[in-house]
Chains A and B, each alone.
Chain A
Amino acid sequence: MNKKKIFKLAKGFRGRAKNCIRIARERVEKALQYSYRDRRNKKRDMRSLWIERINAGTRLHGVNYGNFMHGLMKENIQLNRKVLSELSMHEPYSFKTLVDVSQNAFPGNKKVDVPPKKEGLAILV
């Protein structure tokens, strides 16, 4: 009866791992370990994906993620990253107002602009 359960869980595996019990048992154990670990990893990955999306959305308006979040914290806006990423994808105008709010609260750091000298091929030729 345990073999039946193992084969049920081994559907879609590659090669002998879906048909032969000795190999299937090992692979299924590993698969269950991975799924345990990845249930925890999924939360991390989703959060980092939200952060990447928010970063892209704010950089369209000239602000980077760090300054944007700092401004939101200052204004005590408690929207979480999941909601912010959804807004940046589907509600661009609302997102723009959030970016403006954040910029009012925290304008950003000062910029220094003295670019160093660079040489192209023309100098050597």
Chain B
Amino acid sequence: MTTPAVNFSGNVKKALAGLRRINLEGLRWRVFDAKGQVLGRLASQIATVIQGKDKPTYTPYREDGDMCIVLNAKDICVTGRKMTDKFYRWHTGYVGHLKERSLKDQLVKDPTEVIRKAVLRMLPRNKLRDDRDRKLRIFPGGEHPFGDRPIEPYVMPPRKVREMRPRARRALIRAQKKSEQQGDSKTRKGRQNEEAKNELSV
């Protein structure tokens, strides 16, 4: 992903905005690849890195997190029915004007906002929050104009899946046995619904 600034299609000014305000010496540039990652789990890791909580020299009053670059923001995944059912709501200030937009529409309109909102809502609400927002750069595609800096890719830690409760586990086993008996002639939609149900029950 280390392409020079020439190949980057997109707002170079917006990507480099506010870099002068950050004290950049000694900070690493971590690259997160959002392709195929679950939204909340990725956002929580980004929030930890941006706060600087993965360094032993963490100080709560000093802003010391690494610069985070997120690529492929449009390929972010969610479980369950959140793609159509998760709504972003905001109130314009006028009476009765509560607006909402679903995840699907937001991804079409501006995919970087999804990850940005997720990370921002996971940061503590204090005076350092704006500075931390400035350190986060999200790109919908796979290129970024920071090719000339020393870049470190971030390896996501392995997923710790909670052990299923006995009743949910028995239901899953029953569902698996039923699908084996009925064979592979089930429709694609039916299989998706069943797996969505299994995740909702976990």
Contacts and interface: CB of A to CB of B under 8 A. Distances in A.
Interface of A: 49, 52-54, 56-57, 59-60, 85, 88-89, 92, 95, 111-124
Interface of B: 36, 38, 53-58, 60, 74-79, 83-84, 104, 107, 158-161, 163, 192, 195-196, 198-199, 202
Which 6 interchain pairs have the tightest Cβ spacing? Answer: A57-B56, A118-B77, A88-B56, A120-B77, A116-B199, A118-B79
Contact of B53 (A56, A89, A111): A56
Given A56-B55, A116-B198, A116-B199, 10 more contacts: A53-B57, A53-B58, A56-B58, A85-B56, A111-B158, A111-B160, A116-B195, A119-B192, A123-B83, A124-B84
Contacts of B104: 121, 124
A65 B39 CA distance: 26
A113 B78 CA distance: 18
A123 to B, nearest CB: 8
Given A111-B158, A119-B79, A56 B195 contact: no
Contacts of A124: 83-84, 104
B74 A89 contact: no
A101 to B, nearest CB: 18
B43 to A, nearest CB: 14
Given A114-B161, A116-B202, A53 B56 contact: yes
B53 A120 contact: no
Contacts of A123: 83, 192
B54 A56 contact: yes
Contacts of A111: 158, 160
B56 A116 contact: no
Contacts of B38: 118
B58 A52 contact: yes
5 contacts: A49-B60, A89-B56, A116-B161, A117-B199, A121-B75
Contact of B56 (A56, A114, A117): A56
A114 B83 CA distance: 22
Contacts of B158: 111, 113
Given A52-B53, A53-B56, A56-B53, A119 B77 contact: yes
A116 B79 contact: yes
A119 B77 CA distance: 5
A121 B86 CA distance: 13
A89 B57 CA distance: 6
Contacts of A49: 58, 60
A92 B202 CA distance: 40
The interface centre, meaning the residue of A49, A57, A88, A116 with most chain B CB atoms within 10 A of its CB, is A116
Given A56-B53, A60-B56, A89-B56, A120 B75 contact: yes
B20 to A, nearest CB: 28
